[in-house]
Every structure is written in C-alpha cells, then in structure tokens.
Amino acid sequence: MQPAKTKPEGQTITVAHSPDSDDAFMFYALATHKLDTGQIQFEHVLQDIQTLNEDATRGKYDVTAISFHAYAYVADTYTLLPHGASIGEGYGPILVSRTPATPADIPDLKIAVPGTLTSAFLALRIFAPNFKYEVVPFDQIISAVENGSCDAGLLIHEGQLFYESRGLHKVLDMGEWWHERTGLPLPMGGNAIRRDLDPTVVHQVSDYLRDSINYSLSHREDALQYAMQFARDMDPELADRFVAMWVNERTLDYGEQGREAVRRLLADGFAAGVIPHAVEVEFAE
C-alpha cells in the first residue's frame, strides 16, 4: 500500500474541470478567491470532459471533474467527493436527428457522441447496445448532424436547450427514459479526489468545494456573470437555464437517491456488458 501523499503547507491542489458555464459557476468562489482556503492553494486546469476522463485514467490531477462512466475505470485511484455532481432530475442528454426519427431507429443511425467515457454514451448503450457512432467534440455535434456527417447527435451541454431552433428533432431524452426505467435521476458527472492524498487534506478540499458551490448559489447573479465568459455566446437567459439544470441543491449533496442513481447507472452498465467489471462506488466522507 502506498504511503499517503501529503501536500506541504502552501502547496497547490490541482483542480481540473471543464470550461463550461455550469462548472465555472460551481467553482466561482474558489477561482476568484472569495474563500479563505488557509494554506491550501488551488490551481485550476480547464479541459473538455473527454480529455478530463482520459487524464483521470493516469491520475493526473488531485481533484478532477469526471463522468460517472469514466469513474468505473479509475475507482482504484480516485474516490468521489460528496459535492459537485451534475444530476438530471427527469432530464438529461438528448439524442437529436436531422430528420424525424424514433428510438426504434437508433440501431440504424450513425450517432455523433461526445466521448465513449461519458455517462451519456453509457446511458445510450444501455438503451441500445448496438449502434454506429463517431466521437465528435461536444460543441461540434450539432454541426455534425446539420452537415450530414452523422445522422444524429448526443447532446450533453447547452445544445439541449436550443437544438429545436436549429431545425433538429428530438429522438430521445435520456433523462426522461432513465426516470421511467428506474424512478431515479440520471447522474452525469461529479468531482473525484485522489485516494492517496492525506485524509485531512481530502476533508478540507471537500469542505472548500462545498463552500464554493454554496457561495455561488447564494450569490447567483455575480456567479452567473462570471460563468457567462464560459457560456460560448449564449444569451444570459439561456445560460441561467443551463446552469440551473446542473447546479442545484443536489450539487451541494447527492442525497441518498443521488448516490443510489450513480450505483444503479454503473451496475446497469456492467449488466449490459458496457462496463467489463462491477464497480464499487465510494464517496469521501
């Protein structure tokens, strides 16, 4: 067993998350030094979720945003923090198409997906084990559907809110389907922390992350204004809707239902043969 890796006083903790308005909102207080974090300094690294998932397999960062699907492959290195989850309450990633299609058509469609380690991809594979897909950067998926390089696209970000204005058609809302199937919300991603950090540091980092989320929820206008710079030209109303979908009371604490949703998603992924091994989901306490 490796000895615990203790951060000396004053050394930074690397925190990696996506350059998206919801993550920016969540980390606003930490990124802009609104909180007194004592001797712990935070270094923020911005990467798209597919890159973060891949980096997590190498244990690159102390704290990282991660898709729950990807967690299945790094659970020996990371444990989940009890705060910072993005969980859809009856909504989730949306599969859209250029021409009208139904869920029964999915096996015949070539689908643009945002990454094979995303929870959206896992949920779609649970729904339809066999379909053709191409990995496309999440912010280029709508274009891939529009230009015909793919028949359909799996939207995980703000495209969920404006795809209709681009003339695309909803095939399946994964969150609606998941709730009908399980009665649970659909968990997309969370924040994980390296297991080999000193337990005291883990506890402190967890508290600071919770405080940052709480600060943003309590100072919503300021936090949203900060997050707008990461909103990819969204208007403020749309950005506010998007942030509200993915940063809420469930983000402060999963609750038992949220934790059960993560366990169920990974268990169903294993049962469907998408994940090759059973996963024990653990949360840092």
Q: Which residues are catalytic?
A: 157
Closest CA to 17 of 45, 36, 50, 38: 45
The pair of three-digit structure tokens given for residue 156, joined into one six-digit string: 């995980």
Output the six-digit token pair for 119.
């929870």
Distance, CA of 23 to chain centre: 9
On whether the CB atoms of residues 191 and 84 are closer than 8 A, the answer is yes
- Joined tokens for residue 1: 């067993």
The whole-angstrom separation of Cα 35 and Cα 29 is 6
Place of tokens 């337990």: 199
Residues 81 and 191: their CA atoms lie apart, in Å, by 6
Q: How many CB atoms are located within 10 Å of the residue 280 CB? A: 9
